[in-house]
């Protein structure tokens, strides 16, 4: 599977991609608000192996793709979409980006491609994303995507030795269609 944008190529992970994912997965600032801690090279390799295994499941419900700069053919992050409830046609979006590439719109661009795939190809009705509200960059991405703030859960998850809040943003298929028509 491959999704193309003007600057990016979203593609399936390859076994050796851990060499490019591990540097950002081991960066404390990049993973600060993520659900996992700093990863070792072995943990990055396992993540990629697990991601590759989901690509051959049938029916496929997890689309976890490498985000690659087309011009440089350089892997800079990942963007994923999981069909969490096929009957309700609901999906969950996630992303992570190498800190050296923050602030350039890459994850918004990758997420737009993933949303187009989710609403178009997969026929999803609703896609949501969540993050720690202290992760201002992630909140901005969700807002740029046209997602609406739906919830703020107080201390709903214990991560990295502290209770953390979560915010939920979501988008409906008709909202996406209206946004893309503009």
* Tens digit of each residue's pLDDT (9 = 90 or more) over 94-142: 999 999 999 999 999 999 999 999 999 999 999 999 999 999 999 999 9
Answer CATH for 2-181 from 3.40.630.30, 3.90.1570.10, 3.20.20.70, 1.20.1080.10:
3.40.630.30
Q: Measure Cα distances from 107 to 6, 49, 70, 99, 139 in Å.
A: 13, 23, 14, 11, 12
* Tens digit of each residue's pLDDT (9 = 90 or more) over 133-171: 999 999 999 999 999 999 999 999 999 889 999 999 999
**pLDDT at residue 181 above 80?**
no
**40 — pLDDT class (breaks 50, 70, 90):** very high
Q: What is the pLDDT of residue 55?
A: 94
Domain residue ranges of the chain, discontinuous segments joined by +: 2-181
Rg (CA), the chain: 16
């Amino acid at each position: 599977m491959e999704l193309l944008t003007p600057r990016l190529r979203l593609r399936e992970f390859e076994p050796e991609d851990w060499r490019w994912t591990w540097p950002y997965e081991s960066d404390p600032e990049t993973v600060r608000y993520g659900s996992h801690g700093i990863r070792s090279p072995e943990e990055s390799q396992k993540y990629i192996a697990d991601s590759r295994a989901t690509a051959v499941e049938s029916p496929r419900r997890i689309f976890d793709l490498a985000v690659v700069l087309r011009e440089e053919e350089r892997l800079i992050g990942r963007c994923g979409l999981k069909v969490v409830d096929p009957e309700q046609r609901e999906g969950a979006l996630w992303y992570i980006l190498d800190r050296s590439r923050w602030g350039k719109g890459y994850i918004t661009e990758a997420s737009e491609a993933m949303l187009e795939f989710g609403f178009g190809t997969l026929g999803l009705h609703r896609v949501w994303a969540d993050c720690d509200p202290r992760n201002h960059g992630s909140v901005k991405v969700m807002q740029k995507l046209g997602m609406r703030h739906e919830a703020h859960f107080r201390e709903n998850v214990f991560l990295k030795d502290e209770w953390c809040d979560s915010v939920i943003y979501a988008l409906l298929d008709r909202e996406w269609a209206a946004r893309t028509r503009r």
